[in-house]
Chain A
Amino acid sequence: MALKLVRVDDRLIHGQVVAVWLKAVGADRIVIVDDRTAQDAFLKDVLMLAAPRGVPVEVHGLAEGAVRVAEVAEDEEQAFVLMKSPLTALRLREAGVKFDVLNIGGMGSGPGRKPLYKNISANAEEMEAMRSLERLGTRVEMRIVADDRPVAFSSVDKGG
């Protein structure tokens, strides 16, 4: 098991991730699963530049990502898996990728999204995806920075 952290963060690689999480979890590779970024060489370059030197970054679309994340889960290397939405996490899970915990770190406000916990917002579909993940045995936790105490999704889900 070498998935150090599986995180939903709509900013993908940014200050919190680089300055705090990478060090806190001791990951030596970043694996991003995002269809839009995977298809856009420019966006990919932006992310590569945002990562600290010496930490390799991979960007995959969903189909390829599911295969790759399952592979790194069996690897010696410590991987940090990032995606923008819990919908992606659910699809990975449904594709057979197992992870015990999903960290919800950043989901900004937007059309259709309602505040869920602190600065994390989610729309109805995303809420349903997080509930499905829990039913499939993945613990969904709200935790923005590594110093925060993890808060269970089930404890902030008022509609479930």
Chain B
Amino acid sequence: MRDFRVLVAAHGGLADAFVASAALICGELEDVHAVGLLPTDSPESFGERLMAAAGDPSANLLILTDLAGGTPHNVALVATRRLPKAVLISGVNLAVLIEAVTSIDTLDGESVERLVASGREALVDAGRLFAARQR
């Protein structure tokens, strides 16, 4: 049983789409929340929604953001000051989200490293890989 909440924070409709699409693959996701940055948002208004979605600030939390240096990520990084148990990972892809909701029960050094690795491994030059097999 997973002991942490998952929060996806991303530009536009991407966060909602990540959660909805992961649910297509994994079935209904429990305690997974999306916060999307709207074109009309200020960092403050986005930060308020992010904190509301985080829930209990002292609880275990995994925040996945779409782009390091982007506003969802920058705001999340600032918010971690008030979320002592939050783990923040940028560059979310479907592989990371699926790994987080299906394979990890608790956030520690080893599991966080595994999460990051799952995301990296998902990014491959598939054409080259396929060509190598053909030879």
Kindly report which residue of chain B lies nearest to residue A144, judged by CB atoms: B39
B63 within 8 Å of A (CB atoms): no
What chain A residues lie within 8 Å of B74 (beta carbons)? 11, 13-14, 46-47, 50
B84 within 8 Å of A (CB atoms): no
Q: Which of B39-74 contact A (CB under 8 A)?
A: 39-45, 67-71, 73-74
Contact B78 A109 (CB under 8 A): no
B88 to chain A, nearest CB (A): 11
What chain A residues lie within 8 Å of B11 (beta carbons)? 15
A12 to chain B, nearest CB (A): 8
B81 within 8 Å of A (CB atoms): yes
Contact A49 B68 (CB under 8 A): yes
Please judge, given known A-B contacts A42-B81, A43-B78, A49-B77, whether A11 and B43 are in contact too, CB under 8 Å. yes
What chain B residues lie within 8 Å of A52 (beta carbons)? 69
Contact A15 B42 (CB under 8 A): no
A-side interface size class? 20 to 34
Contact B43 A108 (CB under 8 A): yes
Please judge, given known A-B contacts A46-B77, A119-B39, whether A51 and B71 are in contact too, CB under 8 Å. no
A106 to chain B, nearest CB (A): 8
Q: Which of A113-129 contact B (CB under 8 A)?
A: 118-119, 121
* Interface 0/1 of B23-45, CB less than 8 Å to A: 00000000000000001111111
B84 to chain A, nearest CB (A): 14
What chain B residues lie within 8 Å of A15 (beta carbons)? 11, 67, 69-71
* Interface 0/1 of A115-147, CB less than 8 Å to B: 000110100000000000000000000000000
Q: Give the B-binding residues of A (Cβ under 8 A).
A: 10-11, 13-15, 18, 42-43, 46-47, 49-52, 107-110, 118-119, 121
